A = this chain, B = another copy of it.
Amino acid sequence: MDKFEYAEISKKYRELVESELDRIASNEAAAIYPTLKDAMFYSLEAGGKRIRPCLMLAVCEMLGGRAEKALPFACALEMIHTYSLIHDDLPCMDDDDMRRGRPSNHKVFGEAMAVLAGDGLLSFAFEHMLSAALESGEKGALLAACEIAKRAGAAGMVTGQAADIEYEGAAVQTEDMLHFIHIHKTADMLSAAVLAGAHIAGADEKTLASLTLYSEKMGLLFQITDDILDYKGDPALMGKTLGKDMEQGKLTYASLLGLEGAELAAKQAAEEALAAISEIPGSGYLAATIENMLVRSN
């Protein structure tokens, strides 16, 4: 799959997700207190690449499932991703004023409402998935919701955030430490996307194992390229305050391995991700996602 085809398909999935999020905002979210709803959807509809929902839809279709069946779970995952960004930007966390090229949630709605907007999005994600699971009555839907709960949850993404905060500015910074943080903080949410799509399509154990490895390596690649971009990137490209990680003395692949070392590690993670899916038929979009991630840091 060349980069033009990849961009086209990504656009198709992204538009599917965006229009479903618009539908949710105008119908299902009607009973939410107005200011809270504004705060939730301010961040949810702020754009972004929608990489997780796109991946989920692509995996589901690749394995013979219908994208429409994965859509409620794709939107829910984007809600969870968005809540994590809102809480992460809070003054007591990373203290970021900008996100996706706009003032971050608490700069617009205040800290208290930003905390609640995050809580609201996380709860709403589960409400949305549970309704879909109840409606479909399929075991795959329940397995998808379970996978997302686990990977996004206390032993997944939130554990990664907690480790990240505790290790910030630690005297000894090791690759093991950095790896633990990002397996949970970044890779778990990408794994959630990939594996939920597979559950909805009714994937077998062997395919699930290959996709688990693929998504973990993708998570590593994603984080390394993010660190490289933070190190040398263009603020317009990133849409957030740059060089911040460095300034705060945060452990990053760039600070730990140096720029060249980080680029090498990214290349290796990409190769391992591609190898993991080499035997899955029709995995061109998944391969192109990896290639696209690798290119963005060059």
Contact = CB atoms under 8 A, between A and B. Distances in A.
Contact of A92 (B115, B122, B127, B156): B115
A120 B158 contact: yes
A134 to B, nearest CB: 5
B130 A149 contact: yes
A101 interface: no
A155 B87 contact: no
A146 B33 CA distance: 20
A112 B36 contact: no
Contacts of A277: none
Contact of A165 (B116, B130, B143): B116
A63 interface: no
Given A35-B166, A166-B35, A127 B115 contact: no
How many copies are assembled? Answer: 2
A118 interface: yes
Contact of A161 (B37, B116, B155): B116
Interface in A128-173: 130-131, 133-134, 139, 142-143, 145-146, 149-150, 152-156, 158-163, 165-166
Interface residues of A, number: 54
Interface of A is mostly: helix
Most buried by B among A84, A93, A120, A124: A120
B119 A158 contact: yes
A145 B127 CA distance: 8
A84 B123 CA distance: 12
Given A31-B159, A142-B133, A154 B120 contact: yes
A146 B161 CA distance: 27
A40 interface: yes
A32 B159 contact: yes
Contacts of A32: 154-155, 159
B123 A162 contact: no
A29 interface: yes
Nearest to A95: B112
A250 to B, nearest CB: 13
A111 interface: yes
17 contacts: A33-B159, A33-B163, A33-B166, A35-B166, A93-B112, A93-B115, A119-B119, A122-B122, A123-B153, A123-B158, A126-B126, A126-B149, A127-B149, A127-B150, A127-B153, A130-B149, A134-B146
Given A116-B158, A122-B123, A126-B153, 15 more contacts: A31-B155, A31-B159, A35-B166, A36-B154, A36-B159, A37-B154, A40-B154, A84-B119, A92-B111, A93-B115, A115-B115, A120-B153, A120-B158, A121-B154, A127-B150
